[in-house]
Structure 1
């Protein structure tokens, strides 16, 4: 995915919309749809198994398959010279296929030699491709297999077994595997690491497992989800294996790794990228320091903590922390002071960077925003049958979230900026704000590691 994807998608959709409008206008002007409009005016249903769309789809598919058979045999139906051809038509066989507009009963043409195989509706095919895409989209939105089955039966009258729907969603497994093992860039200047908890069946029990996510910012400032890994819990040892896998997929160096304050995390990262700067997420740190602060005191404590993480230098931050420790709130909430002192070595790298770069590494907000959206999808599922099912849904959900946002942006095209409410990209393909300035600072800080990638 590139930063120009939105533009290319917008152009292709605009072209498609124009072509569809032109074709529809031609059909209306020709009078070809007059009878269809008359039947609609008479009260006949449009959608559903008995609707006009189903009849039109049936007629279109049968006409296409008859054209395929004509090409296969070499002569038109009713041709007086048909007897001179070695193969001939041999009636029809009945077949029902599920579609986006309901079940469609088709008459599949046959040949006498049994050598004809239609491509429009393939042998053994029981669902049209559009229905499969609909099922995958519903699944990506967080609907369970049972929810999808009920939705299809109640809206378009198509009844599919749970096994069939599961099989459709399983067909994306190869795409997930390809994505998970794709080659990566040699350098990601900034990488965010975090995890989300999902419920997965393990034997006779349902357990909480951690779905680990890595988001990398490439040299163009574009964010990419690099992979998803599922493990019993979020631990430094497992993160070490994640980093090793990323290295094996081509990531030779990372300048700054932003993560939470998990014990041993920094060592796990440095085992793979020895020169990486491991930065504790400031938001995680503030959240941890506020764990035991009463609600009535939170604003006062936050106000006292702000001079620490907004300090221009490490020395100024240390003075601000001492001032907080000596304050009434600091003496009341010793744990808040201890949280900052314990994380100090992994917090202070942040203070060495200029404001443009601080804003980039200040927090894992990018990945936490993604996690928030993913939790909304997974909470309806109860639990997953296995790790693969959880990874599949998370992968689909990421794409689905970005697609929804892209559609909203397209709807607002042409509106003045103050009237646009559609959100930008969440993570995948999002461009980091003020990246050029941040990259300049990185180039000054790490010239020997970044310049040959520019």
Structure 2
């Protein structure tokens, strides 16, 4: 029997599971595995598949009954198969008490780290002590997809989100026997109570205006209203899509990316005071003060030819980088950059590095979607 090795603290895991939407994913995944395995057990008991005529047949199917089971993360309801003569009894219930914690950990690993055939096989072997066919594993994998898809398409008209954060990152996917890059689009939002959550996920071929526009249209179809501000990097296609799809919405250029762009134009040595002067521009609470500090910066450093490109970069992107100062002061520090989204991207990247190349686009959507469900409500 294959043994899965875990270094997770079960108490910490259970607390994180119970306090997040991943609980529903894990429970649903366990129900799918157990129901499917009991179905397989009944087939083997009857020695005949559904509707199959066989001289070896021992009995006939007689529907299902529901039975509840208490597991480490709560109560689940199973669909237990029956036979006409009543001689069939699934082994799940007597075995489960011995593998409850291991299975819960395994299912969490499966959902958050991507559902591969190998991993699902290991999980089922952990449960029943025997190997299963590849087609059986594939059927389990396919049944997990609706869980993530339902979350990814949930309505967005329940709350108004004045501030949106948008970003894209690239992964590698196997497609038509080739390894190709794919763009993952993620959007998060903050409501008027400063609570953040993930509201959108999409995977497309490249990061482009058309892809961003389609992403925004999908979000609007789910009920998303035009926000006050969209915070992002300076991707031209993204900026154009914001203008087209969100009428009356301002664009906030991520100040972290923007300041990094300016610093990259500075000389490698002797620029510490220049950097301090530049950062002072963004340590204000009004557009007027920021503009005043910007003019002081230019006046102080414009005679230095080595700073010409840095000053040009500052002037070209300055107004877009201070749009957050038009919002109430209580929100300003939360809407200057996409840092919160970048941290989420790092979590996705950490899992993605383990897999390296996804077998297909759906497996990538499954992994990222499950991870975002776990982190749906951001700090």
How does the TM-score come out when normalised to structure 2? 0.66
Residue among 145, 154, 177 paired with 2:116: 145
Correspondences of 1:236-255 after superposition (within 5 Å)? 236-255=209-228
How far residue 399 of structure 1 moved from its aligned partner, in angstroms, is 3.7
Q: Does 2:118 correspond to 1:170?
A: no
Larger RCO of the pair (alpha carbons < 8 Å, separation 6+):
2
How far residue 289 of structure 1 moved from its aligned partner, in angstroms, is 2.2
Residue among 141, 144, 151 paired with 1:179: 151
How far residue 281 of structure 1 moved from its aligned partner, in angstroms, is 1.2
Q: Is the 8 A contact 1:149 1:161 kept in 2?
A: no
Greater radius of gyration (CA): 1
Residue 197 of structure 1 is matched in structure 2 by 170
1:384-438 per-position Cα deviation (integer Å, ceiling 9, x unaligned): 12221111001112344x4xxxxxxxxxxxxxxxxxxxxxxxxx2235xxxxxxx
1:31-55 per-position Cα deviation (integer Å, ceiling 9, x unaligned): xxxxxxxxxxxxxxxxxxxxxxxxx
How far residue 212 of structure 1 moved from its aligned partner, in angstroms, is 0.4
Residue 3 of structure 1 is matched in structure 2 by none
How far residue 315 of structure 1 moved from its aligned partner, in angstroms, is 4.1
How does the TM-score come out when normalised to structure 1? 0.56
Residue 64 of structure 2 is matched in structure 1 by none
Q: Counterparts of 2:122 and 2:304 in 1: how far apart (Å)? A: 56
How far residue 161 of structure 1 moved from its aligned partner, in angstroms, is 5.5
Residue 28 of structure 2 is matched in structure 1 by none
How far residue 177 of structure 1 moved from its aligned partner, in angstroms, is 1.7
Q: Counterparts of 2:264 and 2:320 in 1: how far apart (Å)? A: 19
Q: Go from structure 1 to structure 2 and tell me whether the alpha carbon gap of 1:285 and 1:249 turns closer, same or farther (over 3 Å shift).
A: same
How far residue 371 of structure 1 moved from its aligned partner, in angstroms, is 0.5
Residue 259 of structure 2 is matched in structure 1 by 286
Q: Counterparts of 1:394 and 1:7 in 2: how far apart (Å)? A: 18
Q: Counterparts of 2:100 and 2:303 in 1: how far apart (Å)? A: 63
Residue 69 of structure 1 is matched in structure 2 by none
Q: Counterparts of 1:341 and 1:269 in 2: how far apart (Å)? A: 22
Residue 366 of structure 1 is matched in structure 2 by 340
Q: Counterparts of 2:181 and 2:296 in 1: how far apart (Å)? A: 40
Residue 293 of structure 2 is matched in structure 1 by 320
Residue 271 of structure 1 is matched in structure 2 by 244
Q: Counterparts of 1:279 and 1:146 in 2: how far apart (Å)? A: 43
Q: Is the 8 A contact 1:210 1:232 kept in 2?
A: yes
Q: Go from structure 1 to structure 2 and tell me whether the alpha carbon gap of 1:340 and 1:393 turns closer, same or farther (over 3 Å shift).
A: same
Aligned residues: 302
Q: Counterparts of 2:142 and 2:336 in 1: how far apart (Å)? A: 38
1:87-114 per-position Cα deviation (integer Å, ceiling 9, x unaligned): xx99xxxxxxxxx9xxxxxxxx997x54
1:174-217 per-position Cα deviation (integer Å, ceiling 9, x unaligned): 11221122111252111111112111123232222210001112
Q: Is the 8 A contact 1:152 1:158 kept in 2?
A: no
Q: Counterparts of 1:202 and 1:330 in 2: how far apart (Å)? A: 52
**2:239 partner SS:** helix
* Structure 2 residues without counterparts, runs of 5 or longer: 1-14, 20-37, 43-57, 60-70, 72-80, 94-98
Q: Does 2:366 correspond to 1:429?
A: no
1:326-378 per-position Cα deviation (integer Å, ceiling 9, x unaligned): 42896424333233222233223223334322112111111111111111010
Residue 105 of structure 1 is matched in structure 2 by none
CA RMSD of aligned residues (A): 4.0
Residue among 221, 229, 240 paired with 2:194: 221
How far residue 9 of structure 1 moved from its aligned partner, in angstroms, is 4.3
